[in-house]
Amino acid sequence: MNRKPIILVTNDDGIIAPGIRTLIHIMNHLGNVYVVAPNKPQSGVGHSISMDAILYCDSVKIDNGNQKEWECSGTPVDCVKLAISEILPRKPDICVSGINHGSNSSINIIYSGTISAVIEASIEGIPSIGFSLLDFGWNADFGPSKEYIYQITKKVLYHPVPISKHVISLNVNIPKLKQKQIKGIKICKQAKSKWKENFDKRLNPRGRSYYWLLGEFINLDKRIDIDTDEWALKNGYISIVPIQFDLTNYSIINVLKSWNFELLIIFLILYI
């Protein structure tokens, strides 16, 4: 890469979150940084977009870095779409999202606004990485993750996959540990898991019911599944899971073909 790369930075915790401020600082050492991020927390919005709401996107100056920044009234996916279509001088060389306050491992990827921004960038053919630290606290210590984030991003920037293959999209989760306690990096698959949800039903002062969503994380993988992100994180490793937007379940395509839908259609035409 001869020219200085353009790096798009976004997140779902909001543009003033400590995680994204740390990520911006790291990316300033790698290229020209453009930040387009939500103006308020958007955790759990998944891949939602604003179809029936006006979007505002205003230039802001939050700190003394070299980056150019815009805060957007929409979702993380809105931010990526606006950045590519309206704000950036050209398509970015990479999109990084985060650093998320909290885990985006296993099933959490489905609900994550952080990772949905990564997926949206990959749809546009842009290499992308989502970074998450397993610490939900606003004052989380992102220090131990900085060098890892720098090196992972540099690898993606300067080691692109061949054009005939899929664009690189990575879901990176970092355990809440001191730097010396992190054992290394594991390339993983997404663990099989789910949330067992329940709702705490209450009444407001006017007698109207309302609900608080509660849940318990259930890991469905066996303890010996050492190639999963959940195992890696619990054992002191940073997990990297390559992800894609193709949700096709290829393993049952032939099963469905054996159902002979064509014969059913012929029957319906002849006898109904």
Strands 32-38 and 57-60, by their bridges, are: unpaired
Nearest to 123 by CA among 47, 177, 19, 27: 47
Is 202 a domain residue? no
Is 255 a domain residue? yes
- Give me the pLDDT at residue 167, please: 84
Query: Which is more confident, 197 or 208?
Result: 208
Mean pLDDT, residues 23-39 taken together: 97
Per-residue pLDDT band for 265 (boundaries 50, 70, 90) equals confident
Domain that holds residue 72: 6-190+224-271
- Give me the pLDDT at residue 151, please: 97
Quick: pLDDT tens for 143-160.
Answer: 999 999 999 999 999 886
- Give me the pLDDT at residue 83, please: 97
Per-residue pLDDT band for 216 (boundaries 50, 70, 90) equals confident
The answer to whether the Cα torsion of 70, 92, 170, 175 is positive or negative is negative
Tokens found for residue 221: 């993988």
Write the CATH number for 234: 3.40.1210.10
- Give me the pLDDT at residue 2, please: 66
Q: Which 3 state secondary structure label does DSSP give 26?
A: helix
Q: Say how many domains are in the chain.
A: 1
Residue 32 CA to residue 134 CA, distance in Å, equals 28
